[in-house]
């Protein structure tokens, strides 16, 4: 009988620690669309999220103001992330934001969408004029 104990290799580590991501998940600030990115590269995702959390940690801006900015970012035509808009509106209200402040942010945010017309309409006019010129020949 062999009295020596067999040694087994230690299980591989699960991956790098991700305390920022873990805190975001715990407080409901995690977007499930980020799960795939986190699975593929947890270290990079952790660094990116830590950078994104800097405004809250620095104390330079008031939390209510940061939440108003987040409403604008999540509601913008280039992002349109309704769960984030809802979460940031709730938090902004909890921090004392008024209905008028939030509405003003949403109105300002619509200006991002008008940029498509600023670029697209002149191009449309040019293309229609070029087409009319081509058919007039």
On whether residue 11 sits in a domain, the answer given is no
pLDDT at 96: 97
On whether residue 30 sits in a domain, the answer given is yes
Tokens of 15: 């991956």
Please give the residue range of the domain that contains residue 44: 19-111
On whether residue 94 sits in a domain, the answer given is yes
Judge whether 29 and 67 are in contact, CB under 8 Å: no
Whose CA is closest to 48, among 81, 15, 21, 85?
21
Judge whether 116 and 78 are in contact, CB under 8 Å: no
On whether residue 62 sits in a domain, the answer given is yes
pLDDT at 118: 85
CATH assignment of the domain containing 39: 1.20.1290.10
Task: Count how many domains the chain has.
Answer: 1
pLDDT at 4: 54
On whether residue 68 sits in a domain, the answer given is yes
pLDDT at 133: 83
pLDDT at 78: 83
pLDDT along the chain (137 residues), means of 10: 56 77 92 93 95 92 96 89 92 96 93 83 92 73
On whether residue 4 sits in a domain, the answer given is no
- Residue 131 CA to residue 97 CA, distance in Å, equals 51
pLDDT at 43: 95
- Residue 57 CA to residue 53 CA, distance in Å, equals 7
On whether residue 118 sits in a domain, the answer given is no
pLDDT at 70: 94
On whether residue 123 sits in a domain, the answer given is no
């Amino acid at each position: 009988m062999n009295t020596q104990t067999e040694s087994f290799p230690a299980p591989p580590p699960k991956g790098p620690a991700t305390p920022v991501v873990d805190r975001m998940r715990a407080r409901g600030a995690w977007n499930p669309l980020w799960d795939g990115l986190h699975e593929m590269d947890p270290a990079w995702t952790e660094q990116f999220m830590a950078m994104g959390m800097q405004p809250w940690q620095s104390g330079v801006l008031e939390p209510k103001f940061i939440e108003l900015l987040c409403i604008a970012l999540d509601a913008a035509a280039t992002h349109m992330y309704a769960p984030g808009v809802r979460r940031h509106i709730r938090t902004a209200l909890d921090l004392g934001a008024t209905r008028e402040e939030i509405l003003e942010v949403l109105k300002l945010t619509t200006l991002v969408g008008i940029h498509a017309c600023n670029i697209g309409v002149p191009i449309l006019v040019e293309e229609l004029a070029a087409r009319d010129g081509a058919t007039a020949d």
